[in-house]
Amino acid sequence: MPKFAANLTMLFNEIPFLDRFAAAKKAGFGGVEYLFPYDFEKGVLAERLQQYGLTQVLHNLPAGNWGDGERGIAILPDRIVEFREGVARAVEYAKALDCRQVNCLAGIAPANADPTELHTVFVENLRYAAAALAKHHIRLLIEPINTRDIPGFFLNGTEQAIQIISEVGSENLFVQYDIYHMQIMEGDLAPTMKKHLDRIAHIQLADNPGRNEPGTGEINYPFLFRYLDQIGYRGWIGCEYKPKTTTLESLGWYEPHTVDA
């Protein structure tokens, strides 16, 4: 049976962020994820996790100025120092929250940038981050993202991610496979996840089109949940979707999987 984590950036957003931990627990989730923890004190977040018996499944490395449209800095030649400082900050938070996985957003390729240079910087940054995180037994993930929602995003396909992992050469680098993004970019979801199962450390979901809850679009999620169980996926599945109405009203798809954590 899949293990589902509530993405608190997108779910329960009708209520203040720190109240979403209690809401996730009440809804039956055993784990949570969200984009960034850095706006809150580590101790405050850790207290919420402990209070409600939740696992911090994932958060991202610092990704630049999100409010200004940046979506990662790992490919940018002039941001290497900032990237490495972000790795250190992510380690501090991950250790405090007992989070065993951190995702690295590649970033948007600047206009007229040399793709080869961006690739080289990305690989070197990933080598640095994978080694730094490995010292603390924290996995590093990279996530392909569709270029319809984020035009110009540098990492946008599964095979590209697998090739980069091979080039980095670290046993501590894995794929965060977002079903929604990869349905848009390449389809062929089930065979792709089976082919690369040993390198997929985390999965996220939303339906397409609309990025809403499962059952609102074209993706056959009941089949995929059974399939992932059959092929032996034992990681978490992050629910990173936009509820069509409210979060609680969107959870009809999830109720059959609810367990009394």
Two tokens, residue 173: 């680098």
| CB of 155 closer than 8 Å to CB of 164 | yes
Q: Which of 82, 85, 186, 240 is catalytic?
A: 240
What is the phi/psi pair of residue 223, to 5°? -65, -45
Catalytic residue list contains 167: no
- What's the pTM value of the predicted model, to 2 decimals? 0.96
Q: Specify the pLDDT at position 258.
A: 62
Q: Among 84, 108, 228, 94, which Cα is nearest to 156's?
A: 108
Percent of the chain with pLDDT over 90: 96
Q: How far apart are CA 190 and CA 23, in angstroms?
A: 31
Tens digits of residue pLDDT in 62-97: 999 999 999 999 999 999 999 999 999 999 999 999
Write down all domains in the chain, each with its CATH number in brackets: 3-257 (3.20.20.150)
Q: Specify the pLDDT at position 260.
A: 44
The 3-state secondary structure of 88-129 reads HHHHHHHHHHCCCEEEECCCECCCCCCHHHHHHHHHHHHHHH
Tens digits of residue pLDDT in 178-229: 999 999 999 999 999 999 999 999 999 999 999 999 999 999 999 999 999 9
What integer is the mean pLDDT of 155-161? 98
Residue 167 pLDDT > 90: yes
Two tokens, residue 241: 């979707």
Q: Which of 70, 82, 143, 171 is catalytic?
A: 143
Catalytic residue list contains 14: no
Kindly provide the b/e burial profile for residues 204-227, where b requires at least 16 CB atoms within 10 angstroms of the residue's own CB.
bbbbbeebbbbebbebebeebbeb
